Amino acid sequence: MNKYISTIIMLTVLTGSQMQAQSLQPAPRLVVNIAVDQLRTDYIEHFAPLYCEDGFKKLLQNGRIYEAASYPFSPVDRASAIASIATGTTPHYNNIVGTQWLDRNTLRPVLCTDDATYGVSPQKIATSTVSDELKISTKGAALVYSVASDKDAAVISAGHAADGAFWLNDKNGQWTTSTYYSKGAQALVRTYNNSTNKLTNGNNDDVADMSVACIDNMAMGRDNITDMLSVTFSAKGTDATVWQSEMEIIYVKLDKTLASLIKRIEDKVGRDNVMFVLTSTGYTSEQQVDYQRFRIPSGTFYINRTSNLLNMYLGAIYGQGKYVETSFHNQIYLDRKLIEQRHISFNDIIARSKELLVQTAGVRSVSASPYNPSVSGDLVIETAPGWQIINEDTNESYFSRAAFIPFPIIFYGAGVKPERITTPATVDRIAPTVAKAIRIRAPNACSAAPLQ
């Protein structure tokens, strides 16, 4: 009897082990993160009859689609969006509040990729990225690269520990990188530029070609150690007056580019060995509209004039002084040193500033900045929709429009079952989802749960 029981137990254990082995999905050899600047769901759907079979149609039919995607912060631009995708968190933690911000020390705009040592680097990202965690997990063995036409997209998506990031030089139209990255990356740029012997215009096909060259030359996805490639395309329009015809051209071309990129990568790495992740930067560049012509409420908010008025107001309360240092975008910068020297409560001065500013025409709300003061102003002004913010000191203009931009999050490839999910999903959940798929830790400031 004991012999029969032992046999049954042994068979049960073996069967369970075999089932577990069969159910375990190996990690993909290559993860391709694709961010499409200003991609919109409504345009994807509108031009669907014009698509080929292997681009958007393949992704939408065979991928896991999260239809109601959004960003957990506002406003969003290309750099802050890509930083959120990579770090799994918001600018409150990763410090990438935008493509540029005002340096507190010089009161001059700085780019998010500016670096005193290397010229260009990711050092302004304050947290780890999912690609950094991949490097840590594999003790540096994983290959990590990124390709984009713009350097902020390339550098931010690559992360700190990447082997290379490639973008187009604005001056000569050739691919370039930074000395921050490996010598292999710098050699690849030289070789690729010499072999193609042509100037690129930064279109999506150029980005796709460079991405495939990177996979080829760097032997990405060739072994059982997961590698990661980040690619940034664009669906940005340029002329609002002919948006429909222009967008048709953009989306049909983008569809063909996606089809070509997916096919070439699957052919090289194997369809079951690569996972694609695609999403949007979740905003659109707003074109200036003449609302007054159509008698729609609108106006102009001069932030430099308002800053001067605020300084006079605070001077009347706390004594003469330059309490307002400057303004930038929709933010006002206070002189924190002066406020500290005069032993004035910072919370009190913020509260009194709000009291004045909310009474100004066109101001919808005023809030204290939720971000690190090294990358942000102290007061953030939100104007009413349709109002334009103008800074006469810097000739900068900003158009306010509170509008919902629909876009998806799509997973396709290794281990992904086709599914459509209508539950709202935020973009900061992409990084922990990728981390789970390749069995590594999520980035160190990511508190978002993986997508289910």
CATH number, position 361: 3.30.1360.150
CATH number, position 215: 3.40.720.10
Tell me the pLDDT band of 14, cut-offs 50, 70 and 90: very low
User: Among 380, 362, 385, which residue's Cα sits nearest to residue 370?
Assistant: 380
pLDDT in tens, 259-296: 999 999 999 999 999 999 999 999 988 677 788 888 88
**Residues, the chain:** 452
pLDDT beyond 70 at 12: no
In a domain, 2, yes or no: no
Entry pTM: 0.92
Rounded mean pLDDT of 332-353?
Answer: 97
The count of other CB atoms within 10 Å of the CB of residue 342 is 13
In a domain, 405, yes or no: no
- Reported as type and span, the H/E element at residue 309 is helix 303-318
- Rounded Cα gap, residues 37 and 283, in angstroms: 8
Q: What is the pLDDT of residue 291?
A: 84
Residues 364, 251, single domain; the answer is: no
The count of other CB atoms within 10 Å of the CB of residue 180 is 21
In a domain, 10, yes or no: no
Q: What is the pLDDT of residue 404?
A: 78
Residues 264, 339, single domain; the answer is: no
Residues 188, 271, single domain; the answer is: yes
Rounded mean pLDDT of 143-157?
Answer: 98
pLDDT beyond 80 at 178: yes
In a domain, 445, yes or no: no
Of 78 and 402, the structure prediction assigns the larger pLDDT to 78
Q: What is the pLDDT of residue 10?
A: 52
Residues 242, 386, single domain; the answer is: no
CA 449 to chain centre: 18
Residues 300, 273, single domain; the answer is: no
- Do residues 277 and 30 lie in contact, with contact meaning Cβ atoms separated by under 8 Å? no
Q: What is the pLDDT of residue 136?
A: 98
Tell me the pLDDT band of 20, cut-offs 50, 70 and 90: very low
CA geometry: angle 146, 151, 154, nearest 5 deg? 20
Residues 276, 147, single domain; the answer is: yes
| Structural domain containing residue 49 | 30-284+410-437
Positive or negative: CA dihedral 123, 126, 132, 136: positive
The fraction of the chain above a pLDDT of 70, given in percent, is 91
Tell me the pLDDT band of 21, cut-offs 50, 70 and 90: very low
- Rounded Cα gap, residues 111 and 79, in angstroms: 10
Rounded mean pLDDT of 93-120?
Answer: 96
User: Among 265, 146, 279, 149, which residue's Cα sits nearest to residue 206?
Assistant: 149
Tell me the pLDDT band of 51, cut-offs 50, 70 and 90: very high
Which residues contact residue 389 at a Cβ distance below 8 angstroms, ignoring those fewer than 6 apart? 300, 301, 303, 329, 330, 381, 383, 397, 398, 399, 400
Residues 159, 266, single domain; the answer is: yes
199-208, 351-360, 418-427: lowest mean pLDDT where?
Answer: 199-208
1-5, 210-214, 228-232, 362-366: lowest mean pLDDT where?
Answer: 1-5
In a domain, 449, yes or no: no
Residues 257, 320, single domain; the answer is: no
In a domain, 15, yes or no: no
Rounded mean pLDDT of 382-405?
Answer: 85
Residues 414, 393, single domain; the answer is: no
pLDDT beyond 50 at 1: no
- Rounded Cα gap, residues 32 and 90, in angstroms: 22
The count of other CB atoms within 10 Å of the CB of residue 97 is 27
Long-range contacts of 236-242 (CB under 8 A, 24+ apart): 236/37, 236/38, 236/284, 236/285, 237/38, 237/285, 240/287, 240/289
Q: What is the pLDDT of residue 289?
A: 76
pLDDT beyond 50 at 22: no
78: left (phi over 0), alpha (psi -120 to 50) or beta: alpha
- Rounded Cα gap, residues 89 and 127, in angstroms: 9
In a domain, 57, yes or no: yes
Rounded mean pLDDT of 332-341?
Answer: 97
Residues 199, 151, single domain; the answer is: yes
- Rounded Cα gap, residues 61 and 245, in angstroms: 26
The count of other CB atoms within 10 Å of the CB of residue 201 is 10
- Rounded Cα gap, residues 408 and 271, in angstroms: 22
Tell me the pLDDT band of 400, cut-offs 50, 70 and 90: low
Positive or negative: CA dihedral 278, 60, 50, 268: positive
- Do residues 4 and 245 lie in contact, with contact meaning Cβ atoms separated by under 8 Å? no
* Average pLDDT over the chain, rounded to an integer: 92
Q: How many angstroms separate the most distant Cα atoms in the chain?
A: 98
111-115, 207-211, 243-247, 285-289: lowest mean pLDDT where?
Answer: 285-289
Q: In this structure, what token pair is assigned to residue 87? A: 């770090």
At 23, is the secondary structure helix, strand, or coil? helix
Residue in this structure with the two tokens 């204290």, named with its chain if needed: 368
Beta bridge partners of 368: 379
Residues 240, 342, single domain; the answer is: no
In a domain, 12, yes or no: no
pLDDT beyond 70 at 17: no
Domain count, the chain: 2
DSSP 427: G
Backbone phi, then psi, for 138, in 5-degree steps?
A: -100, 10
Residues 386, 432, single domain; the answer is: no
User: Among 159, 142, 128, which residue's Cα sits nearest to residue 226?
Assistant: 142
56-60, 237-241, 256-260, 343-347: lowest mean pLDDT where?
Answer: 237-241
Task: Pinpoint the alpha helices (H) of 200-294.
Answer: 204-217, 243-269
